[in-house]
Amino acid sequence: MARALVCDICRKPTEAIVAKLYYSPIRRGVKSHHASYNRHLDVGSCCENKLLKGFNWRDRTTAREYHASRKNGQ
């Protein structure tokens, strides 16, 4: 039997899972790493636009671009 796809944001059945979000808390004194997540959720196609427009997302940058922006005080 096939597993029903459910969006973890609205908790309703969805046609497709379009993203997976990981929660990786930052702890003082402990090195942070993307693989140290302790929670995750599936985003259905029903909530994709809500997720992208509801938060202040930034485009991914290279390490060189990131460090250059930090030197310029941005």
Check: pTM over 0.85? Answer yes or no. Answer: no
Q: What is the pLDDT of residue 45?
A: 96
pLDDT at residue 10, as a whole number: 96
Confidence of residue 73 (pLDDT cuts 50, 70, 90): low
The residue type found at 39 is R
For the CA atoms of 18, 37, 62, 19, what is the dihedral angle to 10 degrees? 0
